[in-house]
Each structure stands twice: as structure tokens, then as C-alpha cells.
Amino acid sequence: MSYVIEGRTGPWELVVGLEVHAQVISQSKLFSGASASYGGEPNTHVSLVDAGFPGMLPVINRECVAQAVRTGLGLKARINLESRFDRKNYFYADLPTGYQISQFTHPIVGEGAVEIELADGSIRTIGITRLHLEQDAGKSMHDQDPTRSFIDLNRAGVALMEIVSEPDIRTPEEAGAYLRKLRMILRYLGTCDGNMEEGSMRADVNVSVRKAGEPFRTRCEIKNVNSIRYVMQAIEIEAARQVEIWEGGGSVDQETRLFDPARGETRSLRSKEDAHDYRYFPDPDLLPLVVEEAWVESLGAVLPELPDAKRQRFQSEYGIPRYDAGVLVAEQATADFYETVARGRDPRLAANWVIGDFFGALNRTGRTIQDSPITAEGLGGMLDLITDGTINGKIAKDVFEDMLETGESAAAVVERRGLRQVTDTGAIDAAVQAVLDANQDKLAEYRSGKDKLFGFFVGQVMKAMAGKGNPALVNAALKKVL
């Protein structure tokens, strides 16, 4: 369903395309041997190539090419066996060479697609136009000195994949779903960590509006948006601004804008350049990049199971609902954790505990799966105690909280606290009789037809047994006596 912006002249349709810059996971930069790791003291991860010294020649990093190919395969995209690097010329203080090595007319990856699922369960396919490799620029820091800007070149030359979507996105929700899905795929592939806070994934957002059935109108590009929430906000705010201009009789200028989340507005940064403004031409220091089909196939053969395939397998193999499967495959670590818990056990019980109590505990304590005191094997061990009747579901909640606190195994907690479920029918019969003796008035009401009081008696017996009575045996004993 389209996102309709109601203007004075009627409804307007939103048109959005995203250019996502994803930093490639590699040890060194795209064309130099300098470290590509995040952080470090300013200007300590810089080679002579990155600093733009005269006479320095770029040498392509094979692993960065492999990461781009893996990403293309994960996006079901065409891999171009021959691609080319171009110089994109512009002058800025954090770009020492005066040009960025990018891919203009011959990218390494062609058309692909990403399937997204929206809140109402509907599925949409967003086209991928291309993926190309390019260098990142350095970083200008304007808050270090009252009169001067400082330059940090640690990031200069780090490999980026620019993933360009078709203008297929029609709502802010779709933009958010697309970015979340793209990030999930990149993380599964191990080609980008998707950390938007550190800037290793950021989006340029192209926004335009039109009346239904019209061709595309002029678009504006909102640069370097570094959170999914901000992308969605920026789209709404920019679309409303454009509608106001068109309805006021003006026209939207093609330009680059910045999103200011504090003020809730977009601001003009510069007029939007066209390709000819950058004077692209083939980089004379680099030969065309040729990859062999057999090499591409060898990379494809060892790709991990991706989120959509894993979700379908979880549904069919474990018999869990689509929603639960979607939650469990959102992160590779979560999916692995669940599979360890579910292996050889009731998969639905495992899903309920992982999604409910375990995720709830992580959120409450600010922990991640990696630093959780309860391991997948530990949670599985607790489920074994439920299944074999050692503890019941109510006791399991207490055991779980104890495990979270102490890091002990479920069996150790049960032994230490004497929480083993009572299955001795003699003890249960005695507890039932004691409860009935103490509640003669309720017993009389029950026998006069108030069947709903059965639940009251079950609760009283469980309370008398400190929650350790086997619920099935307690129910059976009560039915027998009543």
C-alpha cells in the first residue's frame, strides 16, 4: 500500500531510492596495506597511497573483491566478470589525492533484489540497481579547535560497497524494512558489520514526490544518514517539504541536503552534481578487474545459509510459527543459540523460552547473547528437567532467574534449593486432603455446582506444596477426591 501525503491539492505519492555505503570487512584497505580497523589514534592507519603522495600506485585487495562478490551473490544479483575502476574527481580537505577511486559505468555487481516483509505481513521486492566498490574518504573534524579543522585519514582508502536500490520504495516503513533486511544479509555473509553508530553502514536517501500516475519529479538526496530511525524520519520530513513547494507553485531543486534530527528538518548542503561534474574517467593506474567464473562459483558454494532460507527451514523443520522464526533468524548468533537449545528437544518449547524469558532477561540486564551467563546448553539442560518431570513450568521460572544470577546449571540450582518437583502421590494426596479440610465452605459450594472453584483448589494445593507439586498429578488427585 502506498504512503499517501495529503496536500491541499489532493494526495501525493512518495518515491524513494537508497544508496547504502557499507564498509567492507577486511584487514587492510582497498588499494593499500594500511589497517582498515575502526578507531586508533588519528592518522595512524595511513599509508603513502592513502595520503596521496606523488608516485604511489594502488594495488587491489583481493579479499575486498571477494567480499563484494559474496554480497552480490547474497543479493541474488548478477556478478560482472569484468568491471573497471574510475576516478571521481572532486576537491576536499579529507581527500588527499583530489579524486576517489570508484566504479562508474562498469560496476562489479549488477541487478539484484531484496525481499522485505512489512508489519501487516505483506511481502515486497525492492530492486537493486548495482553494487560497486570504492574508497572511503578521510574525516574532517570541526570541533577540535576554535579556528581550524583537523583531518584524520585513518578512514581514507577503506573499502566501501555502495549498494544502490531502484526507486521502488514507497513508504518510510518500507525504507526501514529494506535497511534492516540488507543489514541482516550483510551480517550473515560477514561482509559488513552493519554498525551504523560507527559509520560502517550509512545511507544516502533520494526522495521525490509525485501525483499518482505521473513520471518521476525532481529528487533531493539526503546525505550520510546513520540510523534507520533517522532515515524514516528524514523521508517523512523531506517529502512534506517538497509537497509544500510544489503546491505553492514553486519547483524542487535537485540538491544535496542534510538531515538535522534535533530540529526535525532537512537543510540544503549544496546543489546536486551530475556525473559529468565529477569528470569520471578510467583510472590509468588500474587495469580492468577480471574475475573468473569458477572463482565466483567457488565463493558461492561456501556461502552461509541466509535469513530467508533459514526462516523457511525453521518453520518446516521445527514447526514453529513464521513470526517466531523471523525473530529467531534476525541475527546469526540468535539463530545458532536457538538451534543448540532446540536440538533433540521440543522445538516449540525451546522457541517460547528463547524468545520470551531469555530475550526478556537480556533486555532487562543490558546483556548480549555473547556475554549471557546462561548458555544455550544451559537453557537446554533446564528444558530437559521440565520434560523429564524433575521441575514444572512454575519452578522453571525461579530456576531460570537463579541461573541468570549465579551462572550455575539448572540441575545444580534445583539440588541446592531443593526444588525437585514432588511426584510422590501419597504426599500429594495428603496436601489435597489438608486443603479440602481447611476449606469446607468452598467444598460445599463446589459440590452444589460451582465447577469454577476447581482452579481455586489447584492453586491452594500448589501453594501448600510451595509450587513443587506435579500439576498433572495434583489435578488427577483433586478430580478423584472431588
**Residues 259 and 407 placed together within one structural domain of the fold:** no
**Residues 314 and 346 placed together within one structural domain of the fold:** yes
Closest C-alpha among 480, 440, 441, 439 to residue 459: 439
3-class secondary structure, 471: helix
Instruction: Note the Cα 300 to chain centre separation in Å.
Output: 22
Res 391 pLDDT > 80: yes
**Residues 354 and 451 placed together within one structural domain of the fold:** no
* Last residue of one domain, picked from the residues 298, 317, 347: 298
Residue with cell 570541533: 143
Per residue in 324-338, pLDDT (tens digit) is: 999 999 999 999 999
Res 396 pLDDT > 90: yes
122 Cβ partners below 8 Å, 6+ apart?
1
Q: Which helix (H) or strand (E) segment is 315 a member of? A: helix 307-318
Could you write out the DSSP letters of every residue in 135-149?
E---EEESSSSSS--
In eight-state DSSP terms, residue 157 is: T
Per residue in 123-162, pLDDT (tens digit) is: 999 999 999 999 999 999 999 999 999 999 999 999 999 9
Res 420 pLDDT > 80: no
Backbone angles phi and psi of 61, in degrees to 5:
-90, 110
Kindly report the CATH number assigned to the domain that includes residue 457.
1.10.10.410
3-class secondary structure, 77: coil
Q: What Rg, from alpha-carbon coordinates, does the chain have?
A: 30
**Residues 10 and 147 placed together within one structural domain of the fold:** yes
Look at the chain and report how many structural domains it folds into. 3
Mean pLDDT, residues 180-202: 95
Spatial separation of the C-alpha atoms in residues 482 and 477, rounded to whole Å: 9
200 with 36: CB under 8 angstroms?
A: no
* pLDDT for the residue numbered 102: 97
Averaged pLDDT score across all residues of the chain: 92
Closest C-alpha among 390, 404, 362 to residue 470: 390
Counting every residue written for the chain, the total comes to 482
**Residues 247 and 373 placed together within one structural domain of the fold:** no
Host domain of residue 387: 305-417
pLDDT band at 430 (very low <50, low <70, confident <90, very high): confident
**Residues 77 and 198 placed together within one structural domain of the fold:** yes
Instruction: Please report the beta strands in 308-413, taking only residues with DSSP state E, as ranges in sequence order.
Output: none
279 with 248: CB under 8 angstroms?
A: no
Res 65 pLDDT > 80: yes
**Residues 86 and 178 placed together within one structural domain of the fold:** yes
**Residues 276 and 173 placed together within one structural domain of the fold:** yes
* Last residue of one domain, picked from the residues 392, 417, 442: 417
